[in-house]
Amino acid sequence: MNMQPTAVIAPPAPKGIAEMQLPIVMMRDILLKTVFRKNVETAREVAEAICLPLSVTQELIDMSRGQKLLEATGTLNANSGNEMGYQLTDAGKSRALDALSQSEYFGAMPVPLEVYREQVKRQSIRNIQVTRDQLVRAMGHLVLPDSLLGHLGPAVSAGRSILMYGPPGNGKSSISNGIRDALGDNVYVPRAIEYSGQVITVYDPIVHTAVEQEPDDPTQLRRRARFDSRYVMCERPTVITGGELSLSMLDLVYNPTARTYQAPLQLKSTGGIFIIDDLGRQAEPPQAIINRWIVPLEEGKDILGLQSGEKFEVPFDTLVIFSTNFHPNEIFDQAALRRIFFKIKIDGPNQENFLKIFAMVARKKGVPLDEKALVHLLKVKYPTIDNIYANYQPVFLIDQMIAICEFEGIPYQMSPDLIDRAWANMFVKDEKIVK
């Protein structure tokens, strides 16, 4: 795609312990636990493991040596660059085990929540400006009316909530994915954040797509100088949920064994898109789901709770897309609808666009068009359903004809007879079943 979004300002790497804004004991304990669990020895290996610049790591190592929790082992072999090695003292091992009993978390040093807030502002989804050309390119595989793009564009650029509604099978999910593709730039996702001494893991390889970086210079931690490596540079995230979404999935997930928290879905989607597909199919009523989003949508912040019962605010910087097959007035009250900034109806295609989609799908799947079959489809079959077209139907019908041709052992083709056989599988007749 020929897109050139403005580059997001990277989080600067900390220059010393004082800039970390984390409790000293927490930093020291994470270092000790990491040395214990990962068996790293040199300062460079430790820096890599805890994702801090070498100079900051050395400060933590020196502090731990001063407390007699680490000790130097002497110069290592040439394979390690003749660097000084370190190991835990007996007191250090004891402290590491004690710290692990309180929290199993080790590795990347977390980012304080307050520091993360500033990075969220630097890479806000509301800073994105999407042009018509970008949106057209991202949705080039879809046949959409110009008027629809005219409604979608301002909604995406505003970074505000969107409700897409209309009959099923008309591409609401595909349009949502196209919006995601139109964003086109990268953000920085923290591996973990810290609040009130608690660690909340955020980076999730299932949700986040990391952007490849140039390899490190073998002699200098150049990557550490580019940006704070406690973050991972990723494509703007997209979280897609459907009928399985429950309100509990929007809460912090506590791991009682590790004694750490995992960020909920909406926090993982910060700087990106949260798509709630098939709204109305969840166990909770749509009104309850919308009520859960009222504060985040209106105030740009979310409220989460720790096991202790303490509540705290986290940034809410996500483009929320609700998609439903129901009419909004059937599932929401007017107060809820006011909270959703853009409401866009996605209708089925007219006959002209239906034929464009049908021809495009047939060409892609290698099925030659047949005039008699098309006339039969448009003049005989569609009048039986009041000429109501849907975007899913061309794929469905052509896949059905392909399946029949493969079963019969004949070349891919279409005919009035094949149209009839495919059509029979697209709808179920209303009839009583005799038991």
Per the CB < 8 A criterion, the answer to whether 286 and 332 are in contact is: yes
Task: Report, as an integer, the average pLDDT of 406-426.
Answer: 94
Selection from 108, 127, 115 nearest residue 271 by Cα: 127
| Residue that the structure tokens 């370190």 belong to | 86
pTM, two decimal places: 0.82
Cα gap 307→305, rounded to integer Å: 7
Selection from 257, 123, 127, 117 nearest residue 193 by Cα: 117
With 70 as the cut, is the pLDDT of residue 398 above it? Answer: yes
pLDDT at 3: 41
With 90 as the cut, is the pLDDT of residue 225 above it? Answer: no
Task: Report, as an integer, the average pLDDT of 163-189.
Answer: 83
303 pLDDT tier (thresholds 50, 70, 90): very high
pLDDT at 157: 84
- 98-107, 339-348, 391-400: least confidently modelled range: 339-348
The radius of gyration of the chain from alpha carbons, rounded to an integer in Å, stands at 28
With 50 as the cut, is the pLDDT of residue 222 above it? Answer: no
Please state the three-class secondary structure of 208-268 as a single string: CCECCCCCCCCCCCHHHHHCCCCEEEEECCEEEECCCCCHHHHCCEEECCCCEEECCHHHH
With 70 as the cut, is the pLDDT of residue 200 above it? Answer: yes
431 pLDDT tier (thresholds 50, 70, 90): low
Percent of the chain with pLDDT over 90: 56
Cα gap 112→190, rounded to integer Å: 10
Percent of the chain with pLDDT over 70: 92
Q: Element (H or E) spanning 201, and its range?
A: strand 198-201
Selection from 365, 377, 321, 385 nearest residue 175 by Cα: 321
Phi, psi (degrees; rounded to nearest 5) at 326: -95, 155
* DSSP code of residue 425: T
Q: Is the model more confident about 180 or about 186?
A: 186
pLDDT at 2: 40
Amino acid symbol at 341? F
pLDDT at 221: 44
Per the CB < 8 A criterion, the answer to whether 209 and 247 are in contact is: no
pLDDT at 70: 94
Cα gap 149→137, rounded to integer Å: 11
Q: Element (H or E) spanning 146, and its range?
A: helix 146-158
- 101-105, 238-242, 298-302, 431-435: least confidently modelled range: 431-435
pLDDT digits (tens, 9 = 90+) for 61-99: 999 999 999 999 876 545 555 678 899 999 999 999 999
Which of 75-84, 191-200, 342-351 is most confident?
191-200
pLDDT at 224: 43
With 70 as the cut, is the pLDDT of residue 271 above it? Answer: yes
Q: Is the model more confident about 385 or about 159?
A: 385
Write the DSSP assignment of 263-316 as a string of letters.
--HHHHTTTSEEEE-STT-SSS-HHHHHHHHHHHHHHSEEEEE-TTS-EEEEE-
pLDDT at 160: 82
pLDDT digits (tens, 9 = 90+) for 1-16: 344 445 788 999 999 9
With 50 as the cut, is the pLDDT of residue 299 above it? Answer: yes
Q: Is the model more confident about 433 or about 149?
A: 149
| Beta strands 273-276 and 238-241, pairing class | parallel
pLDDT digits (tens, 9 = 90+) for 372-397: 999 999 999 999 999 999 988 999 99
Which of 125-134, 260-269, 329-338 is most confident?
260-269
| Beta strands 186-190 and 231-235, pairing class | antiparallel
pLDDT at 215: 55
pLDDT at 217: 52
Cα gap 251→264, rounded to integer Å: 5
Task: Report, as an integer, the average pLDDT of 28-38.
Answer: 96
With 60 as the cut, is the pLDDT of residue 310 above it? Answer: yes
Amino acid symbol at 233? M
214 pLDDT tier (thresholds 50, 70, 90): low
Task: Report, as an integer, the average pLDDT of 165-189.
Answer: 82
* Cα separations in angstroms, 19 against 114, 315, 325: 12, 21, 50
* DSSP code of residue 333: -
Mean pLDDT (the chain, rounded)? 88
pLDDT at 80: 55
Alpha helix locations (H) across 300-415? Answer: 328-331, 334-339, 351-365, 371-376, 393-408
